[in-house]
Structure 1
Amino acid sequence: MALDPETLLREAKALQEELVALRRDIHAHPELGSCEVRTTALIKKYLEELGIEVRPCTETGVLGILYGGKPGKTIGLRADIDALPIQEETGLPFASKNAGVMHACGHDLHTASLMGAAKILSAHRDALCGNVKFFFQPDEEGNGGAERMVRAGCLQGPDVDAVFGGHSSTGRIAGHYGLKYGKTYAASNPFTILIRGQGCHGAYPGSGIDSIAVACQVVAALQTLVSRRIFATDSAVVTVGSFHAGTAGNIIAGEAELKGIIRTLGPEMREKMCRMVKETAEGVAAAMGASAEVQIRTSYPGVVNEDGFTALVQQAMAELVGQEGVELETIPNMGTEDFGYFMDGIPGCYCSFGFGDGRNECRFPAHGPYFRANEAGLAYAAALHANVAVRYLNGGR
């Protein structure tokens, strides 16, 4: 059977009932990052029944390899599989059975869609000019499961030549895709600032150094970095989301702790913002007679879609839903996504799959207890994974 887009979409739609069942099973049994034992077993069994080789990689998560019938390149397709520490409040019949854990970011949708793509592609393996690797990645939400998979060698043997993935979007109707060229997601650097002053009796503030007052000035100064220290055409976000200090209302606190995160687009801005956060915190604290210990951690890299491969993805999208179903984006997302680890030295593209309904059923935001998605998007996400792989291996570029 021909590997044309019409065939792939038709086969994906024929799997819709199965994809819904898979998604609901995964949704009802969510697991936090690095704890995805049941989800891993489900995926592993599914791939093995399709005759797809499953290799050891990380403790949870699955690396599958489909060898094509003809020699060629190797493409990686990725889905994240972990859930969030949220108590589900949707009232759906397939709502989470695990208290305090919920698939509130669509990773159940991603997983089921890639499982569907694996089934479609496995049925056409003899016609594939190359190989497909399936990355069912653990722990995207917490500790960079993508980095662990890469370190474990998922990109080698055979070496991956291009990588593709995407995220569900309930703000985009099912049957539509979103795509951006170039910088797509921000890099992130979490930070902790420990302000050390000198504690004292609340009646005699002059005998100490108020760490809370110092920390407040540090927070205020950090808010001016983006508005006054970088050009308006550049992009950066500095967020202080945690402030802890003190033990009693009548005691001047000797220490205060701030926690936050820096988000940037591009390595130069990343280095600059990290340096300025450190210098600002230390300088403000010193000016007020205190000290600041600043720890900035390197976290997820940015996601930068490679132009050539992204053009291939755009073509694959249009072949499935027409140009009117492809929504080109111009503004980067200042959120973070660890897919960038797979793209280190490898051309890649990260897009979005429509899972909205155009009404109010799917209006609730991700990372919230009422998050819902239009399951009609499953077949279109599965078809796109399959079509990108076919276009790349069998003459895409």
Structure 2
Amino acid sequence: MVDIKSACYEINDWLINVRRDLHKTPELGLEEFETKAKIIKYLKEIGVDYIEYKNHTGVTAFINGKHSKTAAIRADIDALPIDENLDLPFKSIYKGRMHACGHDAHTAMLLGACKVLFKLKDQLNVNVKFFFQPAEETVGGARLMIEDGCMENPKVDFIFGIHVMPHIESGTIELKYNNLNASTDTIFLTIRGSKAHGAYPHKGVDAIIVASHIISALQTIVSRNTDPSSGVVISLGMIDGGISENIICDKVNIRGTIRTLDNNNRIFVKERINEICKFISKSFDASYSLEIKSGYPALINSNNLVNYVRNNLCDVFGDEKVIIRNSPSMGAEDFSFFLSHCEGVFYHIGCANEKKGLDAPLHSSEFNIDESCLVIGVISHVKNILSLN
């Protein structure tokens, strides 16, 4: 029986160096060319097989032992358009780009799991795919990889993914049954009225007045049309209209986001938004155009695999180090696309160390991790794969 902890801690220094190497050169979604080159360099050192894709910067490594079942592990590889405000020897060398969401850590953990599992390939009971996925922060690179066949040949039966979290101390792991993340859709709404002199408003149709009524009414979808406990958010973050203080505005553009936790509410909210825009516009003799662009689906974990991971991690780290999250996040995660094709589980690895001041939030210019979390992620991946039958 292999000592998983020892096997993973043997590569701890290597893991930290890999993470720092990736941290220095952050790249935005679908521009991860240097990151991809580094990933391939490490895969070649490991000796594992891999494939590249023509349409994007993703990479899939694989250990194919001709088993009847196949498991996949995914890491996102892209960074954010943020200036890093940390004095680190491995600070981002690119102005306006930073690994502020921990994807450098996720990638290092997956490379570490690949390194350990490749050495232990004769003990595997499943084929293993390692997805190095681009563009999680932008266009949803998971969908691009799926379209290019990453879930087939051999067909993936189970998938695992993790995210570092600064609200959890390093060494602790957080799991969630059922819904973990919300779906996301983007609202593009235009209200059209007609211009008139500001002194004679009755001769025009004021698009600003129409927009204000629609904005107020849309919030009643959350407060009056859906169950308060069901998890629905409608946030309108952009509004633009008017050309002068004394001209009645004839056009207002509004953009916003919708977050829901189940597909029934997702469908209902879209329909209700259209109804409200239609009837309020008509009541003011205005017109409207509405596009709701679909984003990521809700991330709903497979509960049997949550139990599986929970048992595995309690066995390795102890019950006190594995916590259960009660409420879902209204943030989005494109790992959900993979869950449309197979069973899977996405969970959180603590990366904070409050005593060291390492607790800045994700997507901030001060975000950093306690690097002791890296080996925790590798151990988690390796344990989950080796325990599959």
- One-letter amino acid matched to 1:59: H
Q: Secondary structure at the match of 2:130?
A: strand
Matches within 5 A, 1:3-152: 3=2, 7-57=3-53, 58-68=55-65, 71-152=67-148
How many residue pairs end up in the alignment?
A: 388
Answer yes or no: is the 8 Å Cα contact 1:67–1:125 preserved in 2: no
Q: Secondary structure at the match of 2:153?
A: coil
The 2-side partners of 1:162 and 1:373 are apart by 28
Moved more, 194-203 or 28-37: 194-203
User: What is aligned with 2:295?
Assistant: 299
Structure 2, gaps ≥5 residues long: none
CA deviations on 1:26-77 (whole Å, 9 max, x unpaired) are: 1111000000000011111211222211113342021111123x73411000
User: What is aligned with 1:288?
Assistant: 284
> Scaled by the length of structure 2, what TM-score is found?
0.97
- One-letter amino acid matched to 1:214: V
CA deviations on 1:312-335 (whole Å, 9 max, x unpaired) are: 111121122111100111111111
CA deviations on 1:159-214 (whole Å, 9 max, x unpaired) are: 11100001111111111100011111111111111111112222322221111221
Quote how far apart the aligned CAs of 1:252 are.
2.2
- One-letter amino acid matched to 2:62: I
Quote how far apart the aligned CAs of 1:349 are.
0.2
CA deviations on 1:264-294 (whole Å, 9 max, x unpaired) are: 1111111011111111122222222211211
CA RMSD of aligned residues (A): 1.4
- Determine whether 1:267 maps to 2:280: no
Answer yes or no: is the 8 Å Cα contact 2:123–2:386 preserved in 1: no
The 1-side partners of 2:359 and 2:47 are apart by 39
The 2-side partners of 1:319 and 1:331 are apart by 25
Identity rate, percent: 37
Q: Secondary structure at the match of 1:292?
A: strand
Answer yes or no: is the 8 Å Cα contact 1:312–1:391 preserved in 2: no
Q: Secondary structure at the match of 2:67?
A: strand
Q: Secondary structure at the match of 2:294?
A: coil
Q: Secondary structure at the match of 1:222?
A: helix
The 1-side partners of 2:97 and 2:298 are apart by 27
The 2-side partners of 1:362 and 1:199 are apart by 54
The 2-side partners of 1:213 and 1:177 are apart by 50
> Scaled by the length of structure 1, what TM-score is found?
0.95
Quote how far apart the aligned CAs of 1:25 are.
1.4
Distance 1:288 1:362, change over 3 A: farther
Give 4+ residue runs of structure 1 displaced > 4 Å after superposition. Answer: none
The 2-side partners of 1:200 and 1:92 are apart by 58
Structure 1, gaps ≥5 residues long: none
Answer yes or no: is the 8 Å Cα contact 2:56–2:144 preserved in 1: no
The correspondence for 1:168, drawn from 139, 159, 164, is 164
- Determine whether 1:205 maps to 2:201: yes
